[in-house]
Structure 1
Amino acid sequence: MQTGTPQPTPPQLSEILFKNLKVRSIGPAVMGGRVSDIAIDSRNPFVFYVGLATGGLFKSGDNGVSFDPIFDKEAVQSIGAIAVAPSDSDVVWVGTGEANDRNSSEWGNGVYRSTDGGGTWQQAGLKDSRTIARIVVHPAKPEVAYVAASGHLWADGGERGLYKTTDAGKTWKLVLQAQGAAAARTGCGDVVLDPSNPEIIYATLYARQRTPWSFTYGVTATGGADVGGVFKSTDGGASWRKLSGGLPGQTGRIGLAISLSNPRVVMAVVQSDEGGASDINDIHSRRGGVFRSEDGGEKWARTSSINPRSFYFSQIRIDPANDQRVYVLGYALLASDDGGKNFREDLSEKVHPDCHALAIQPGSAPAPKAPKPEDKNKPPKPPFSQRLILGTDGGVYQSFAAGKGWDHLNKIPAGEYYRISLDDTRPFYRIAGGLQDNENWVGPSGTQTKEGIRNSDWTALAGGDGFYVLFDPADRDTFYAESQGGEVHRINLRNGEMRGLRPQPAEGQPSYRFHWNSPLIASRHKPGVIYLAGNRVFRLTDRAEHYTLISPDLTYNDPARTTATGSGAENFGVIYSLVESPVRPGMLWAGSDDGRLWVTANEGGNWTELTANLPEP
């Protein structure tokens, strides 16, 4: 009997094989990631801090020329709020857990405090707050702080409401919370101190909860109890009263701002479902919007219906030098020069959309100009603060012209990749993948130039949020990339051709459901075959021009969980994981987000459910 040459035994993977491998940054560095908060050191404005939704905390000591990560050794990397103590800028407070309530928002483990400008950190309590929307520090006492704890996004309970510490976080007192059963889902959404009297505090209560198939807020989250709104204390949080005087009811998320130059002016951007809710693309509210009080919150006037996508934004700022200049953050940065009556978005040119954080440097307004002869009897118009630092889904921007001439400070490695894939190009293989709200990209693992990998070595492959990217096996310039909701497209980098290829049912047939991040895989056994998963599995061929359904609906298709509207992030009853056997052609495994597991051995000819064989969770 003739035998073949014995095959060498592959080495066992062990720690020693990876010991000398070093992580290196290869890009792309043309974008940042989602920014959640920004804080400027009031004593040295060259110093500022940037908090990221999932990437930790960065500090610049040179006006944004460079940034250093200062939170990497801590247990969590999701930042919700930053505050620099006004009386001692070495004292920095950080609240962990992003407060923007996306499905992708990560949670935190409470409050951290540094007494050396972020060099070292101490955990300072509220470990079960999960999400912190704002921290404000007493102007003269760096050990006194208020924390707006939004609480668990996905579950009841935990530490929720407005907390106060007078001993640098050793102990905390819950000074404002919802009453009754509604407290389990209601937290504090924002808090501001009166700059002329720190005993005067304004805060908001906000109820919300997510499931994989829904997002509820306000009275819907609390079973009808209207517990949200704006509250005021005049005794350092010892007692509170709910403000009305023109504010609507049935509120959701509310953002607050108080004027530094005129503390009687308080403003709020208010989500309200009185009169009905608004579509995701409608930046106007029927009864909510921008409200302004000029008497410390006693009476409020609705100045504008502007209120973009409340759960994701709800941020408002008043220029510290001029209470007529007001900013509302949303898909764009909206600016008003008449106290919030009219807004424009011309300051958002060349700025990445989805604005979450804005820091304005006090004292950066120029001196008033001498009036013209014809205006000598008119009071001079107060100038605007010139230095703004803006945080978006695309990173950090800085302006020294009151929102004009933005400089993109793309020096923080904060891109948020959902998925990556590799090819076998030589001598340097390529990496392709998609990022949160920053498209799909492809770039090399190395170059033969002395500069190494540069931004110019990376190429955008289009998309909104980016996810899976596949390489065409026959044409190195062709890629199959994906955006949210199964939006697959083919792009050719040689000629610029791009074609949308998402499967669509015939008119009158049930619609297909796709996950936010739908599985898209290339067959390793049949070059040119691509599998895409929604609630069913699709086989794409001929450069994805044609598709065949190769499965029935593999989910439970619960009608109570498959009707959410919006961005598609709440799409449920879909296949979340799809893999092809590396050794057996035609064998596919599919797992759904509602807990079903399937396998086919003949490329979808028939499917066997294995759910009953899974262990109990």
Structure 2
Amino acid sequence: TWQHMGLTGTHTIPRIAIDPKNPDIVYVASSGHEWTDNEDRGLYKTTDGGESWEKILYIDERTGVIDLVMHPDNPKILYASTWQRIRRKWNDPRVEPGYDKNTIYKTTNGGKSWKEVSTGLVRAEDRGRIGIDICRSEPDVLYAFVDNYEAARVPEEGELNSYGLPRQAVIRGATVYRTDNGGGEWHQVSETNKYMESLSNTYGWVFGQIRVDPNDPDRIYVMGLALHMSKNGGKTFKRIGRMHGDHHGLWIDPANSKYLVNVNDGGVAISYDGGKHFRDFTDDFPLVQFFNVSYDMDDPFTVIGSIQDHGSFKAEVDLSRGRHHIPAEEWDRAPGGEGTRHAIDPTDPNTVYASSFYGRLGRTDLKSEERTSVLPNPDEGELPFRGQWLSATIISPHNPRVIYHGMNYLFRSMDRGDNWERISPDLTYNDPAKYGDIPYQTIFAVAESPFSFGTIYVGTDDGRIHRTTNSGTDWTELTSNVPVHQWVSKIVASEHTDGTVYLTQNGKRFDDFAAYVWKSSDKGDTWEDISGNIPCGPVNAITEDPKNPNVLYVGTDLGVYVTLDGGGTWQTLTADIPTTFVHDVTVHPREDLLIAATEGRGMYVMDIRYIQQMVDSVQNSALFVFAPDEAKLPRGWRRAGITGNIVYALNAASDVTIEISDAEGNTVRTLKHSGIVGINQVEWNLRMDPEEEDGYGDRVEPGTYTIVVKGNGVRAEGAIVVIDN
């Protein structure tokens, strides 16, 4: 269990140091808000176990503390590295003109006073993020891992950066310094070469982690795209392990330096021999980070999504054991990369459109495995089109040959992507000051009305919303009464009512964590706030229930929420899904399954037929029993059956008794359940009551069984059919 101890306004906490002699004394480093300036940056200290906090080191509203180490023998001696940074929507954090506050501080009196200890480091104007560590066995020895912005060389002709753009001056990047006198003076120990340049590439701001062997001051580890080790005090490095890329943490056992625990973007890896071999736990933890989800209309149907660092994958949804026992599946490769949205032809599950990596677009025939690039190209002399990491690609609900693709312009193809026409002007703010390494000012959300071909809604990452009712001949801006500049994360044109549109906005890039959910009943001319009681955003996606027009689902950074009254009130859907970042949600219209793509917990599905039936009369009933699915007896040990799934709803919590009787009225099974307000599920294993308390009853025979549910002082009945397998 955990208790919240404050410092909410910091947003990001990179390091905590606890006094080993007094655990009520704790130091917390705050690097602050990611996207905006704020005064909660700095270093905090508590002497009462977190009941109160004092800020003991503060530079300014853009400079936080990114790393912190404590002297192993004297807890009043600490070293803190500061980082002046802000993240731009069009550029990663970097040293900007005027930045000179990235440095290292030392205190010898528990934070009462601080002294800058940066002599020997690269000049302040060229320092990026700084990671630090101390050797426990020789605590005068410390290392600093500096993201060095000194120019290293002129790029080679045609050399591209990590974003696929022409490379500018190449910086030195990863540079390691050492002090042997507690920060009195530093000297560079690492080489200046292409190996060190490529260690973090242009992502030095992401890593910045260094560790010193607690028993050997000359053995150090630095983390970048891979894990690197030096045995000679940083003079030379070699890559160790073949784990997943992007390394962010390493623990070294002080009692056994050969025992290493590494964390990276793929999970956890452990070495027991000092890094010669690593045991990878990637398959043991459900850590898959899905960006999105789409589905086909095959039977059984397939879901498809893109995964960070891995590419795109697909899997069938197996309903053979019942909709309440959908198993985990092995996933197969699918068209697209790691940043891909998929649009699958509803009339042909073998035709998949995959947009990836800043607007690239391809069409794949899964049967022949033939892939065709169908990306629109700019005219000669025109600037390249800007496309988001997850570009918007949809298939028209009126004709599966009609494809829409969003860059900074909206494009339409009438022939499956073979030919394109530009049907909009630049629909973003198109501010040249916001051109950068990362494409920004792009179309992120597109929806076409299922009632009217050519009525299209477009939302951008810089917060503009437009509508056309004539396939792009004219465009109307719809941004007037929603928050300006907020990322439009999803637009849904209702399938139930012409003119009804739903829209979500994500304020994360303004450090705004409100829930923005909007509804329009007049094609976007006006917007109504339907976020209701959703406690927190950002909101990443919204989808409409295909059967019940009052039911909507949203995915937020904290999970999935559902409304039964069109957005008046919301409830969380947390039965089997943990509190987690939900990137995308959608509903399979034939199977009535809600699908959620999570950032770090894989893909989930939920049977929503009972939610669809939660009309006012059901919600107001003291007790309501839903019609059960057909159950199927197992056949021996090899062929599983489908257990009975008894679902009921209560308007007040109550202990519940369920009696199951055969056609002659004989009670074959009695079940007890503690019912909560709302929908409840009880599983019946198709056995009779056991003769002994801890025994198994006999299997029931095929037939129709009456279910009587008693609770809240009332009773309700249903029937379940059990068939042979």
- Whether TM exceeds 0.5 here: the answer is yes
How do 1:355-394 residues align onto structure 2 when only pairs under 5 Å count?
355-364=247-256, 385-394=257-266
**2:38–2:62 CA contact under 8 A, matched in 1:** yes
SS of match in other structure, 1:564: coil
* TM-score, L = length of structure 2: 0.59
| Count of aligned positions | 461
Q: In structure 2, what residue type is equivalent to 1:268? A: A
Distance in 1 between the 2:278 and 2:102 partners? 39
Distance in 1 between the 2:482 and 2:175 partners? 49
Residue deviations 1:561-590, cap 9 Å, x none? 1x212xx2xx22211221111221222111
Q: Choose which of 251, 256, 268 in structure 2 pairs with 1:396.
A: 268
Q: Choose which of 28, 48, 58 in structure 2 pairs with 1:147.
A: 28
Q: In structure 1, what residue type is equivalent to 2:39? A: G
Judged with a 3 Å threshold, the aligned counterparts in structure 2 of structure 1 residues 397 and 477 are, in CA distance, closer, same or farther, namely farther
How do 1:54-73 residues align onto structure 2 when only pairs under 5 Å count?
none
Residue deviations 1:169-212, cap 9 Å, x none? 1111111121xxxx011110100011122221110111111243
Q: Compute the displacement of 1:493 (Å).
A: 4.1
Q: Choose which of 300, 303, 310 in structure 1 pairs with 2:204.
A: 310
SS of match in other structure, 2:433: helix
Unaligned residue ranges in structure 2 (runs of 5+): 485-725
Q: Compute the displacement of 1:315 (Å).
A: 0.8
Pick which of 296-305 and 463-472 moved more: 463-472
What residue number does 2:138 align with? 262
What residue number does 1:242 align with? 116
How do 1:116-515 residues align onto structure 2 when only pairs under 5 Å count?
120-178=1-59, 183-218=60-95, 220=97, 224=98, 226-248=100-122, 249-250=124-125, 251-275=127-151, 281=162, 285-286=171-172, 289-304=175-190, 305=192, 306=196, 308=200, 309-345=203-239, 347-349=240-242, 351-364=243-256, 385-403=257-275, 404-426=277-299, 428-446=300-318, 448=320, 453-456=327-330, 458-461=331-334, 463-473=336-346, 475-515=348-388
**2:306–2:337 CA contact under 8 A, matched in 1:** no
How do 1:3-14 residues align onto structure 2 when only pairs under 5 Å count?
none
1:589 aligns to 2:457 (yes or no): yes
How do 1:554-565 residues align onto structure 2 when only pairs under 5 Å count?
554-561=427-434, 563-565=435-437
Distance in 2 between the 1:296 and 1:138 partners? 19
Distance in 2 between the 1:462 and 1:340 partners? 42
What residue number does 2:475 align with? 608
**2:296–2:346 CA contact under 8 A, matched in 1:** no
SS of match in other structure, 1:209: coil
Judged with a 3 Å threshold, the aligned counterparts in structure 2 of structure 1 residues 607 and 418 are, in CA distance, closer, same or farther, namely farther
Distance in 2 between the 1:360 and 1:463 partners? 38
Distance in 1 between the 2:108 and 2:371 partners? 60
SS of match in other structure, 2:291: strand
**1:352–1:393 CA contact under 8 A, matched in 2:** yes
**1:177–1:205 CA contact under 8 A, matched in 2:** no
Residue deviations 1:443-462, cap 9 Å, x none? 12215489964553x11225
**1:218–1:228 CA contact under 8 A, matched in 2:** no
**2:364–2:371 CA contact under 8 A, matched in 1:** yes
Q: In structure 2, what residue type is equivalent to 1:198? A: P
What residue number does 2:698 align with? none
Q: Which structure shows the bigger proportion of residues in strand conformation?
A: 2
Distance in 1 between the 2:236 and 2:161 partners? 21
Unaligned residue ranges in structure 1 (runs of 5+): 1-119, 365-384
CA root-mean-square deviation? 2.7
Distance in 1 between the 2:96 and 2:424 partners? 40
Distance in 2 between the 1:438 and 1:538 partners? 28
**1:430–1:442 CA contact under 8 A, matched in 2:** yes
Distance in 2 between the 1:489 and 1:397 partners? 35
| Structure with greater Cα Rg | 2
Q: Compute the displacement of 1:389 (Å).
A: 2.0
**2:364–2:372 CA contact under 8 A, matched in 1:** yes
1:572 aligns to 2:440 (yes or no): yes
Q: Compute the displacement of 1:476 (Å).
A: 2.7
Judged with a 3 Å threshold, the aligned counterparts in structure 2 of structure 1 residues 229 and 590 are, in CA distance, closer, same or farther, namely same
Q: Compute the displacement of 1:286 (Å).
A: 3.2
Judged with a 3 Å threshold, the aligned counterparts in structure 2 of structure 1 residues 592 and 402 are, in CA distance, closer, same or farther, namely same
Report sequence identity in percent.
Answer: 37
Distance in 1 between the 2:128 and 2:237 partners? 22
**1:461–1:481 CA contact under 8 A, matched in 2:** no
Q: Compute the displacement of 1:487 (Å).
A: 2.2
**2:442–2:460 CA contact under 8 A, matched in 1:** yes
Distance in 2 between the 1:420 and 1:528 partners? 21
**1:501–1:544 CA contact under 8 A, matched in 2:** yes
Q: In structure 2, what residue type is equivalent to 1:592? A: T
Q: Compute the displacement of 1:132 (Å).
A: 0.6
**1:530–1:540 CA contact under 8 A, matched in 2:** yes
